[in-house]
Structure 1
């Protein structure tokens, strides 16, 4: 894959210039080993000096599919796809990455089948926003090394807006709140727990609707810890409906945690465009809301 930039201000080295374009040390090493770098059409070494006005072009090596990853021909719901990104709408019940419980039909296996069918140049999905198996909604995938590096920088700088819908048990008192509490793995189980020894975690929420024994909230993640929304609301004694791991009650016929990744927004580092993607809550979610309204 070929990418080009124009040098518009003095720089001290080619490596520093490429780093300013988001080329990480790892991607730069891949370029030196398997790709190529050209300045004004001429192949150069990393030691070349750059001048204002120079045209820098890199050719990233193609990323071949991992033969150890099984191919699934099951379909995926594509919300957006271009040279750099793939955004999909993940159904509840589908694992994102292969693991002991499922190595043949996860989202990664399905993406491999999708890209093999279209004979894509790069066939290694870089998952950027991983969802739990029983959480539905938007998943963002980078299609090559540089996109992965740039997206990781956006996330580290808190420049990716991720919003969820959740139905939690009980009536949340405040219309708006921020849960700022570190999370750590529970040594006695598979869950996460609030702990001063944990990693910083920040969840913001807005109440959308209240019922007699449940509350619909819109949630913004300011960090991306494992089970963050589930663990944070459980710590407030408002575990998600259907979330057995965190003690959430079974209400309204919901058989999974009532969590849906609704929107994702960011400024595309390649084009400068504002991108926003959204997913409509699935049928079981809609039925849950109807049942809660009937029961109230």
Structure 2
């Protein structure tokens, strides 16, 4: 894949490319795996001295798929795709990546898709993950350089994700608010988390967009990314997510997973230099709870 830049400083090629998020390891791939660097149409190396206005062209070699990730055929609901990024609407019940207990995962499905489409880059680069029983938008990079560019956005927290959750509790829940409570590992479990002073800072913002008796539909934004953050925070304030038996959620509504859905994802496209805003409708199982609770469909602007 070829990328072209115009030098805006006097420096070595490698220094200039680092500012374009081309790392030392990626430069090594360019050098040893069939890529190339040109300045004003002439082949050059990474220590060539640039002048302002020089045109730098970089060929990044194609990426071969990882052999230890098995390609598994499974339909994908693609929300967005171009040469650099792929976004899907993840269903419930599938982990993002393989583990000792999960082998039939979203990463396996995406690898099959990349290979079956005969794309030149076939490595799976996950930018944003979701828990196995959380549904909604997941973002992938289609090559390592695109992944590196979005990693910087993750670090600067400019990739924005919003979630819908169905919660229930006896305590009063204000129309909007912030939950600031540190999250730590549960001393008695390797899976669960808890609010505790020994934990890392965690910040969750929310807005109630629907009240259906005891059930509330909440629109949530994370400002930090702690494990199980939404589930732990809402359990902590006395409003656990429906179906979330791990953190005290009610199972009597017929939903048997945490009622959590990533409905919005936005990022700045570093190659097209524009904002990308993606959305996903509320899932059928979550909407069914609302329909059966209030006897009517949820308004379109809340889905």
TM-score scaled by structure 1? 0.94
1:274 offset after TM fit, Å? 1.2
Residue matched to 1:16: 15
Residue matched to 1:52: 52
For 2:277 and 2:91, locate their aligned partners in 1 and report how far apart those are by CA, in whole Å: 19
Residue matched to 1:254: 255
Deviates more, 1:72-81 or 1:14-23: 14-23
Residue matched to 2:129: 130
1:275 partnered with 2:254: no
> Residue 30 of structure 1 aligns to a residue in which SS?
helix
1:21 offset after TM fit, Å? 1.4
Query: Do 2:212 and 2:290's aligned partners in 1 also have CA atoms closer than 8 Å?
Result: no
Query: Do 2:134 and 2:261's aligned partners in 1 also have CA atoms closer than 8 Å?
Result: yes
For 2:224 and 2:109, locate their aligned partners in 1 and report how far apart those are by CA, in whole Å: 28
- Cα distance, 1:251–1:13 mapped onto 2, change above 3 Å: farther
Residue matched to 1:169: 168
Query: Do 2:92 and 2:133's aligned partners in 1 also have CA atoms closer than 8 Å?
Result: yes
For 1:50 and 1:110, locate their aligned partners in 2 and report how far apart those are by CA, in whole Å: 43
Residue matched to 1:219: 220
1:220 offset after TM fit, Å? 0.9
1:25 offset after TM fit, Å? 3.5
For 1:192 and 1:150, locate their aligned partners in 2 and report how far apart those are by CA, in whole Å: 31
Deviates more, 1:278-287 or 1:166-175: 166-175
For 1:220 and 1:281, locate their aligned partners in 2 and report how far apart those are by CA, in whole Å: 16
- Cα distance, 1:41–1:95 mapped onto 2, change above 3 Å: same
> Residue 130 of structure 1 aligns to a residue in which SS?
coil
Residue matched to 2:118: 119
| Matching of residues 1-296 of structure 1 within 5 Å | 1-7=1-7, 9-34=8-33, 35-103=35-103, 105-170=104-169, 172-189=172-189, 190-294=191-295
Two-structure CA RMSD over aligned residues (Å): 1.7
1:20 offset after TM fit, Å? 1.7
> Residue 132 of structure 1 aligns to a residue in which SS?
coil
**Over residues 234-274 of structure 1, what are the superposed CA-to-partner deviations in whole Å (9 max), with x where a residue is unaligned?**
11121111001111111421111100000101111111111
1:110 offset after TM fit, Å? 0.7
Query: Do 1:264 and 1:278's aligned partners in 2 also have CA atoms closer than 8 Å?
Result: yes
Query: Do 2:65 and 2:122's aligned partners in 1 also have CA atoms closer than 8 Å?
Result: yes
1:294 offset after TM fit, Å? 4.5
Q: Which consecutive unaligned segments of at least 5 residues does structure 2 have?
A: 297-303
1:32 offset after TM fit, Å? 3.5
> Residue 201 of structure 2 aligns to a residue in which SS?
coil
- Count residues in correspondence: 293
Q: Which consecutive unaligned segments of at least 5 residues does structure 1 have?
A: none
> Residue 263 of structure 1 aligns to a residue in which SS?
strand
Deviates more, 1:275-284 or 1:27-36: 27-36
1:182 offset after TM fit, Å? 2.4
Query: Do 1:164 and 1:219's aligned partners in 2 also have CA atoms closer than 8 Å?
Result: yes
TM-score scaled by structure 2? 0.92
1:28 offset after TM fit, Å? 3.1
For 2:228 and 2:68, locate their aligned partners in 1 and report how far apart those are by CA, in whole Å: 28
- Cα distance, 1:212–1:79 mapped onto 2, change above 3 Å: same
Query: Do 1:37 and 1:57's aligned partners in 2 also have CA atoms closer than 8 Å?
Result: yes
For 1:120 and 1:172, locate their aligned partners in 2 and report how far apart those are by CA, in whole Å: 52
